[in-house]
Amino acid sequence: MFLNPADRDPAALPRLTVTLAVLILLVPGLRWTEFDLRELFDPQNRETMGRFLAAFFPPALNAEFLRLTLQATVETLAMATAGTALAMAIAFPLALGATRSLSISRIGPGPGRGLGWVVRAGLRLGLALLRGVPEIVWALLFVRAVGLGPAASVLAIAISYGGMLGKIYAEIFDSSDTRFARALLEAGSGRLSAFFYGVLPGAAPEVVSYSVYRWECAVRASVIMGFVGAGGLGQQMELSIRMLEGGEVCTLLITFLLLVFLADGLSVILRRAVA
């Protein structure tokens, strides 16, 4: 009945401990959030949800609304692409400064070691501050600053994703094979040369893969930020919901799903191309 000690799974106790800890945390979490699955199946709630879903059919397919949907879709793609490009422009220099493998002081005990550590810590803190605020909150702030429209969404993606990309780029550069960069630094090369010839060739596929993934996320985020007035499909959907136009909401949801599938497919193709 009892297993031989040699046959026991050594990871069983840690897994059991983690499972119990999650269950212990789950119970008060559900209580504090007033989560009650029975509310979803309450007859009154089911009737309200049924009326809401019934209003979705048929989808709005008139020429005028399709033209608005196409315009909002192009705007959403433009917001995601411009925001991601700006985020990369923010992330790259910050990541280069925060990467320990490109630190000249790392190759020897010479002067500047303490200053280098302080600068890298400051840059990593800056990246944490940029990504610490969700993009939807940045969008709300920029809507107040630059007004309604896609500019607020582009700025929100650029700031928030700039912090995320910078952190990941720095970790990719630090975790890649740094022997060539170290040899170049020891030979007196500058940090940029060490980066382009010693680090980037090995890290490029992973950098491109993660950047494409972030662009895919930016497409979805652009739609969400539209609900706070930052343009695109989200803003059009918010207007249709406010006017109780279920058919228009259905058309926009279908368009959004097609857009996500398109972004996902394009992302897979690009990742395979650089793999």
User: Residue 246: which residues within 8 A CB-CB, separation 6 or more?
Assistant: 52, 54, 55, 56, 57
What is the pLDDT at residue 147? 82
Q: At what angle do helices 150-175 and 63-98 cross, to 10 degrees?
A: 40
pLDDT at 107: 61
Per-residue pLDDT tens for 208-223?
Answer: 888 888 888 888 888 8
| Fold category of 63-273 in CATH | MetI-like fold (1.10.3720)
**265's tokens:** 């497919």
Listing DSSP states for 76-139 in one string gives HHHHHHHHHHHHHHHHHHHHHHH-GGG-GGGGSS-TTHHHHHHHHHHHHHHHHHHHHS-HHHHH
- CA quadruple 140, 144, 148, 153: dihedral, nearest 10: -40
CB 39 within 8 A of CB 192: no
Distance CA 125, CA 187 (A): 31
Residue ranges covered by each domain of the chain: 63-273
Q: What is the pLDDT of residue 205?
A: 82
49 vs 69: CA distance, rounded Å: 25
Q: What is the pLDDT of residues 102-154, one digit of tens each?
A: 777 666 555 667 777 888 889 889 999 988 888 888 888 888 888 888 888 89
Single-letter code of the amino acid located at 3:
L
Backbone angles phi, psi at 253, to 5 degrees: -65, -40
pLDDT under 70: residue ranges of the chain: 1-8, 105-112, 271, 274-275
